[in-house]
Amino acid sequence: MRFGVGNGLRGLAAVAVLTGLTTGCGEAGKGSAGSEVSAGASATAKAPAVKSPDAKPAQAVSGGSVGADGSACELPVTFDTAKAWKAKAVAAADQKGDTGNALADELADALLHQGPVTMACELDAKPAGNIGFLRVWTGKPGRADARTVLEQFVADEPGAGKARYSAFKVSGLTGAEVEFSTYSEIMEESKKERALAVTTPDGPVVLHLGGLDTEEHEEMLPAFELAKRTLKQTA
C-alpha cells in the first residue's frame, strides 16, 4: 500500500541525498527525512567497539517525554525519550507543494509517507552521540490492527527482508513489533532495523528505529526499548 509515489522514488531520494554529499551540497544534521545518510557521510568514522558476545544494551535514561499537548510532538500516544535525544515535529503538509519543483515535491512525498502512515515526529540521536533517528508515523483511524499496519509499513520499505514479528501489551495498548533488515544498493550492505505499531481511536502509530548502520542501530536500541515500555495512549 502506498500513499503518493512508489518505492522507486524512495530509492531515487536516497540517491539524491548521496549525490548532494559527494558534490559538497549536502548538509549533515538538518534533521530532515533521509538525513541519516548525510550525517553519516560527513561524520568522523568511529573506531570499532570491543563488545562481549553476551553484552546487552544498558537501559536508556529518560530525558523527558513527547506526545502530550504542548510537547515537541503532539501524538495519539505518549512515551519517554532518551536523554539528550532531540524531538522535532514533522508537518508533512509543510514539506511539499511550495518549492515549485515537481520532482522535489514527489521526493518529499516519498520520504514522508510509508504504507498507511505519515511521518509526524523524529527524535534525533546525534546530540546523544549516535547517527540515526527514532521516527514516529501516524495514520487515519480504520479497522486494520497493529500487525496489519506494521506489515504494510515494512512492505513499503525498499530492500526490507528477514522480518520477524511479535506481539506485546503495554499500559492497555496491544501492539505488534518487528525486527527486520534492509539492504542498501547505494551503501552495498544490509543493516538491522526495528519498528512497532499500536492502534488508537485517533489512528495507528508506528515507531521506527533505523540508524546509519547495524552498529549505530544496536547502540540506539535502549532508546527504542524506553519508548516501548513507557508507551501510553494520550489522555
Kindly report, residue by residue over 64-73, the tens digit of the pLDDT.
999 999 999 9
Please give the single-letter amino acid code of residue 200. T
Query: What's the CATH class of domain 7-43+63-233?
Result: alpha beta
User: Under a CB-based contact definition with an 8 Å cutoff, are residues 123 and 14 in contact?
Assistant: no
CA dist 47 and 83 (Å) reads 23
Asked whether residue 21 carries a pLDDT value surpassing 60, the answer given is no
Domains of the chain by residue range: 7-43+63-233
Whether 59 has a pLDDT exceeding 90, the answer reads no
Sign of CA dihedral 110, 40, 27, 205: positive
Coarse DSSP helix, strand, coil percentages of the chain, rounded to the nearest 5 percent: 30, 35, 40
pLDDT value of residue 159: 87
- Scan for cell 521526493, then name that residue: 107
- Note the maximum CA span of the chain: 53
**Section 31-37 average pLDDT:** 42
The average confidence (pLDDT) of the chain is 79
Which residues, in sequence order, are CB contacts of 167 under 8 Å at separation 6+? 147, 174, 175, 176, 177
pTM of the model: 0.75
* pLDDT of 155 strictly over 80: yes
Task: Give strand pairing partners of 66.
Answer: 79
Higher pLDDT, 124 or 26: 124
pLDDT tens, residue by residue, 211-224: 999 999 999 999 99
Confidence of residue 94 (pLDDT cuts 50, 70, 90): low
100 band by pLDDT with thresholds 50, 70 and 90 = low
Distances (CA, A) of 169 to 126, 194, 231: 30, 17, 10
